[in-house]
Amino acid sequence: MNFSPRTTCVRSNELISMNKPCNTPWRAAVLAASLCLFTPLGLAATQDITAEFRPDPSNPMMNKFTNTTPQSGVCPGHMPARCEALGIFSIRTWDINFVASGPIEANHANPRQGLTFKVPSDWRSFEVVSSQGDRKTVEMRISGLGSRFNTTNPPSVYAWSPLPANWTHPPPPCQYTGMWAAGDTLRLWFWLVPEGAGACNLATPFNVPASSFSMLEYTYELRTPNPLEMEAGQYRGSISYGVGPHKDFDFGDLYLPNDDVLTFNFDLRVEHILKVDLPPGGNRVELLPEGGWQAWLNRGRQPSRLFRDQTLVIYASGRFNMQLECSLVIGNTCGLRNSAGDEVPLQVGVTLPYGLQDQYGQAVNKRPLRLDGTGTELFQPAHYVNKRPASLHFAVERDDVKEMLKHPGSTYNGVVTVIWDSEV
C-alpha cells in the first residue's frame, strides 16, 4: 500500500513538501516604551509598536511574543541594568511636550494648579485583526512615566531635593526607579505607575515662574492572546489616548500639550511551523498480522487483523486539521483492491504526541481519520511541539481479513493520502 503524506501551509494554499517547514510570518509579559511623536495640536500623534512570535526549538514552552519595537531614552541611556531587572524598556520622544500656561503659586491648594501626573494605568482592550479576518483582543496599560522638567533659576530643580517627595523619590502612588540626572534648570525623571493608580502630586512650597516638559517617555504592559491559538500572519490594530487636562495623559490644568491625541498602531506578526518527517521508505506500508505471517501459519489460525503503525516526527506550533484522500473510497474511509477486483475497507487513525490536543482539550490517541473529517477538524498545541514522535495507524479488521483470505496468494493495494492542513 502506498501512503502519501502531505502538509499544507496557510500561505496562499501553497503545497509544502514533507521535509520543508511551513513558515508564515507574540505574548509579551511586560513591555515598556515611550513615544516618538510630533504633530500640530488636533492631529493625532502616532507610535508604531511591533512584536513577533517565532517558535523556538531551544525553548518550546515559551509561548510569548517578542517585542521588536526599538527602544530609546532612559533605559538604554541611563539605567540599562535597572530596566533589565524591572523587565521594562523605554522609548523617548521629543515630539510631545507640555508648556505651563502660567506660574505655579507656592503652597497652592489645588494640586491641578501645580505638578500633577496621571496616566492611563488601568487595562484597556482593543482588537487586532489578521489579513484573513481573524480577530483577537489585546489589552494595554501605561506602567511608567518620565520626562525632562525645565524651570527657571531660581528656584532651580534642586529646590525640590529636600522635600519628602521629589523627582527621585516620587509621591505615591508612583514608585521609585532610581533615575537621577539634573542641571540647575532641568531634571530628567522616571517613575513607575502601579495598575489603576490615580494622580501623583508633587508638592511645590515655592513659586515657579515658568516651566515646561520638553519630551515624554513611558513604559507599558500588554496582555495578548496565546500566539499558538492565532493564525500565522500579520495582525494590525490601534488604540488612542487623549492628552491634556482631564484626559488620559494628564499633567494638570497648567500644562498644555502640543498634541491632544496619542495613537498606538500595533503590528503583530505570528510565524508558525507545521512539518512532518517520515523515515526513509515510510510512505510504503505493508500490513501484517501480529508477529508476522509465519507465526500465524505455525499456529494454524487465521489472523484477527492486519495492521501497521507507521511512526513519524512532527513539528507544530499552530492549529491544523487532518484530512484523508483515497484512490479507492469505501464508505467513509479508504479501501484496498486486488487484481480480481475484490475490495476491503482500510481503517486509518492517528496518534499525536503530548502537547497536541483536539478542540476540546483531549489527547489524540488512535483517533480515526475519516473522509468527512469528523473528529480531526482541529488540533492545537499547548506549547510548541518540536520533533516529537507520532503515529499513523493502518488496519484491516477481522471480518474483512476473512474476506481477503478467501483469495489466497492475491495482493491488495491502495493509495492513501493523509493531509496536515494549517489553513483552519
Domains and CATH numbers, the chain: 2-19+274-421 (2.60.40), 45-270 (no CATH)
Answer whether 252's CB lies under 8 Å from 338's CB. Answer: no
Give the mean pLDDT of the chain.
89
CA angle 348, 393, 341 (to 5 degrees): 50
Stretch 220-225: mean pLDDT, rounded?
94
The band of 14, judged by pLDDT with boundaries at 50, 70 and 90, is very low
The band of 24, judged by pLDDT with boundaries at 50, 70 and 90, is very low
pLDDT tens per residue across span 381-418:
999 999 999 999 999 999 999 999 999 989 999 999 99
Look at residue 2 in the predicted model and tell me its pLDDT.
64
The band of 32, judged by pLDDT with boundaries at 50, 70 and 90, is very low
Answer whether 266's CB lies under 8 Å from 65's CB. Answer: no
Name the grid cell of 320: 491544523
CA angle 116, 120, 124 (to 5 degrees): 170
Look at residue 7 in the predicted model and tell me its pLDDT.
55
| Res 17 pLDDT > 50 | no
For 338-374, letters b (16+ CB in 10 Å) and e give eeeeebbbbbbbbbbbebbbbeeeeebeebebbbebe
| Res 30 pLDDT > 80 | no
The band of 159, judged by pLDDT with boundaries at 50, 70 and 90, is very high
pLDDT tens per residue across span 291-337:
888 878 777 788 889 999 999 999 999 999 999 999 999 999 999 99
Stretch 82-88: mean pLDDT, rounded?
93
Phi/psi for 126 (5° steps) reads -155, 165
Round the CA-based radius of gyration of the chain to a whole number and report it.
32
pTM comes to 0.80
Measured CA to CA, the distance from residue 18 to residue 274 in angstroms comes to 9
pLDDT tens per residue across span 343-365:
999 999 999 999 999 999 999 99
Look at residue 10 in the predicted model and tell me its pLDDT.
31
Measured CA to CA, the distance from residue 252 to residue 108 in angstroms comes to 13
| Res 8 pLDDT > 50 | no
Look at residue 3 in the predicted model and tell me its pLDDT.
61
Look at residue 185 in the predicted model and tell me its pLDDT.
97
Measured CA distances, 138 to 77, 132, 362 (Å) = 29, 18, 27
Look at residue 4 in the predicted model and tell me its pLDDT.
63
| Res 42 pLDDT > 80 | no
Nearest to 142 by CA among 69, 239, 4: 239
Measured CA to CA, the distance from residue 149 to residue 251 in angstroms comes to 12
| Res 13 pLDDT > 60 | no
